[in-house]
Amino acid sequence: MKFNFENLDQQTRELMTSEIKSDINNERLYQSKRFNENGHKLYAELLFDNVSNGDEETLATALKVNNCFVDKELRNGKNGITYVKVPETANQTLADSEFNRFYIRALALRAISSGQTLTIYRARHSDNPRAESEGIIGKQIDAQKLLKDLRENIGTDTALGLPPGPNSGLSLKLT
């Protein structure tokens, strides 16, 4: 299901692009452990293209069409290390998460420069929303702290817990 990014306009897209460039220049752009050689090679270009002209759905499609993921990954289990099939949704999960993270970083920059606040909202419908997610909807977030956290903690785990993990459907909006 598609996100409804309430503040995804040209200004936000330009700030998202700037944040991606910053991560690349600082060698901090997240690279999925599920990427194959093609994924590592193409990811930054696909991310730029879809931040400029698309959304999380077009990014997911581009990742899939360009065959960016391995077929199997190692997993530690009770019977030792085994190979398991990478989920068919790996492209969508990564695209949703990373597009949202750069969107939130851009909004934090906008909030800092304009004096606006950031509020958590449900940006994508969920049939079975987590209680933890529902409990933070409507909460306002300090833009400075959030931006620092997202810049320092790439991938899925951040100190502030925003965005709150893969598939949460939550994002932020300017208020």
pLDDT of residue 99: 95
Residues 6+ apart with CB under 8 A from 140: 117, 118, 119, 120, 175
Give the C-alpha separation, 47 to 55, whole Å.
9
Answer with the residue of higher pLDDT: 90 or 79: 90
Q: Tell me the average pLDDT across 92-121.
A: 95
Q: Which tokens hold the place of 108?
A: 């934090």
pLDDT value at position 154?
84
Phi first, then psi: what are they for 3, rounded to 5°?
-75, 150
**pLDDT (0 to 100) of residue 5:** 96
- The larger pLDDT score, comparing residue 169 to residue 101, is at 101
For residues 152 and 30, is the Cβ–Cβ distance under 8 A?
Answer: no
Which pLDDT band holds residue 160 (cuts at 50, 70, 90)?
low
In terms of pLDDT, which residue wins out, 53 or 158?
Answer: 53
pTM for this one? 0.90
Lowest mean pLDDT among 85-89, 93-97, 157-161: 157-161
Mean of pLDDT values over 1-9: 93
> Which of 50, 38, 136, 137 minimizes the C-alpha distance to 92?
50
Distance (Å) of CA 4 to CA 24, 64, 169, 171: 27, 22, 10, 9
pLDDT value, residue 119: 95
| Mean pLDDT for the chain overall | 90
pLDDT attached to residue 165: 60
